[in-house]
Amino acid sequence: MAKRVMDNDHKAKLNQGRIEAKAIREKASTLFEEYGTLLHSWNFWKNISASDREAATEAIRKANMACLNSDIKAMQAQLDAKIAEKESLAKR
């Protein structure tokens, strides 16, 4: 089976998408700092369509899962280090 090789146009398109996504994330961060208090108001959310509310809820759920997964990986690394330390002490 032949491997698919990306041509330069496809690579450029992917790179442009990454650049645009980064710009959107940075812009969203500054907007959140300015208008974040509005997101705490039910009056804001009642004027948003149900599909947009569901999309926001799903994005928040995914962000929570990503944060939890990174916390678990960090804790697992700490635990592995402690286990290795314990095993090295037991061998002495």
How far apart (Å, rounded) are the C-alpha atoms in residues 53 and 44?
Answer: 11
Check residue 3 and give its pLDDT. 66
Cα end-to-end span (Å), the chain: 52
Q: Are 47 and 55 in contact (CB under 8 A)?
A: no
CA dihedral sign, ordered 29, 66, 48, 21? positive
Tell me what the mean pLDDT of segment 4-31 comes to. Answer: 89
- Most confident region among 17-31, 32-46, 54-68 by mean pLDDT: 54-68
Helix, strand, coil shares of the chain, percent, nearest 5, are 85, 0, 15
Q: What is the pLDDT of residue 65?
A: 97
Does the pTM exceed 0.75? no
Name the residue ranges covered by the structural domains of the chain. Answer: 1-47, 50-92
In the structure, what pLDDT confidence band is assigned to residue 2 with cuts at 50, 70 and 90? low
Please state which of the ranges 20-24, 52-56, 88-92 shows the lowest mean pLDDT.
88-92
**Interval 60-90: pLDDT, tens:** 999 999 999 999 999 999 999 999 999 999 8
